[in-house]
Amino acid sequence: MNNGIVYLVGAGPGDPKLITVKGLDCIKNADVIVYDRLSSPRLLSYAKPGAELIYAGKSPVRHTLKQEEINRVLVSRAKAGRFVTRLKGGDPFVFGRGGEEAEFLLAQGIPFEIVPGVTSGIAVPAYAGIPVTHRNFNSTLAFITGNEDPVKEDTSIQWDKVSTGCGTLVFYMGMSNLPHIVEKLVAYGRPLDTPAAVIRWGTRPEQQTVTGTLADIVAKAREAIMGHPAIIVVGEVVTLREKLQWFEKKPLFGRRILVTRARGQASILAEKIEALGGEPWEFPTIEIVEPEDFAPLDKAIAGIESYDWLILTSVNGVRYFMDRMRSRKKDIRRLNKIKIVAIGPKTREEIEKYGIFCEFMPEEFVAEAIIEVLKGEEVKGKRVLLPRADIARKVLPDTLKTMGADVDEVTAYRTVTGSGDTDELVKLLRENRIHILTFTSSSTVKNFIKKIGPQNVSDLLTGTVTACIGPVTSATARELNLKVDIEASEYTIDGLLAAILEYFRE
């Protein structure tokens, strides 16, 4: 069998959007992904179905796999003809042991490629508002390992030259050795009043920054209980943080927010969360799929001209209905005599993409509001088509029937349980690393509870904030013993985010 290939990929420092385009391609195409502790777990969501995921997490105090074991895994998978992505935090050639892995692969006759990544020594200070170079402060920059054993006799760091020879010093993984680093710098001529910063978990919601000088940075870091992973910056550029810090000033900074929408719809909410400084954690509790049987919908479409009203209650309903119209060769001009109702602005926008305009859109985006609108219309004896989800509430068709309407409720799409990684979510909840739960429909609530187990609600969700898109979703959450902290007054994604921002402002 021909050998596969190994890509040594830099994953960046933590923010998954700092992955390179080529690096993301390597993740998407990999048969095997061997990933580090410092590479974002969110990047693994891009892996193709069936890809083998191997955790090789390493920290200064504990290794899941030793380097020799990692080397053997890379070679064995490549010799089996697999496309292997070795996903490493930061850049593989900057204190990432990528050079050692490349040498081993070469010795074993395994083809490899290097995909550089954004190194934490630049990105982490940048997220803390510290530019590592600035023409008014420094002309030189040094990257230095902070993980060298302080008791070894023959250090590879030339402290007498490094201490005063470079304007900015950036130490990687040096938290345990911070007192030793400061001692050496001062002993070899760096003034005690030199600004210094320690940045932990840079580019992530947990980012924490402590600034001071060489005289007090050790005490300040100890008081703040700073630990691994951390970047240490020494130099006058640290003073720029006071006016250049930007990441921590975003309104949702420090919040990891669970997005429970279907994967195809989650990106809109996720992007808005990221723009506000939060970290979206996608856990699709539902997926939107075709009906098991298209016959009822096809029958309605075949006789579409016989309907007086078409009520569309979601963006999904519009898409599936219109797609089926197209597949059945039914011209949308057949809708010209039908009055169309949309349940909210996003549904209306989706309808208008097809060049069709709505007769009505209620001010409140729930089924009950549609009923109030139609009470002013003559619906008795009128034919109403209601294409929607298989699990939608019955209040709308049942009420319309009592008003004398002839209602055809047909399944345009189904809502099924999503594919979110429950084990990883439970782990995050136990560690209090999920701060806000968002629910955009009753089905997202029901499936979320089903996936984590109703018996675990009180144990896992203590301390989390629950945000619901509207009263119907909130009612479902309360029925399932969730405490609702936030309810949007406008039942849209923008309304939900506005309510979350208001909650934390207060």
Catalytic sites, residue numbers? 36, 58, 173
Closest CA to 492 of 364, 384, 337, 371: 364
Note whether 109 and 3 are within 8 A (CB).
Answer: yes
Note whether 167 and 236 are within 8 A (CB).
Answer: yes
d(CA 93, CA 97): 6
Note whether 10 and 119 are within 8 A (CB).
Answer: yes
Q: Dihedral sign, CA of 159, 164, 166, 172?
A: positive
Strand 383-389 to 112-115 pairing: unpaired
CA 227 to chain CA mean position, Å: 24
Note whether 361 and 313 are within 8 A (CB).
Answer: no
Note whether 493 and 500 are within 8 A (CB).
Answer: no
The torsion of the CA quartet 360, 365, 367, 368, rounded to 10 degrees, works out to: -90
Q: Which stretches of 146-189 are DSSP H helices? A: 159-165, 178-187
d(CA 436, CA 275): 16
Note whether 387 and 320 are within 8 A (CB).
Answer: yes
d(CA 30, CA 26): 6
d(CA 331, CA 154): 81
Read off φ and ψ for residue 58, nearest 5 degrees.
-135, 140
- Residue 453's SS3 state is coil
Note whether 469 and 492 are within 8 A (CB).
Answer: yes
Note whether 132 and 125 are within 8 A (CB).
Answer: yes
Alpha carbons within 13 angstroms on the beta-carbon side of residue 152 total 8
Residues near 159 by beta carbon (within 8 Å), at least 6 away in sequence: 184, 185, 187, 188
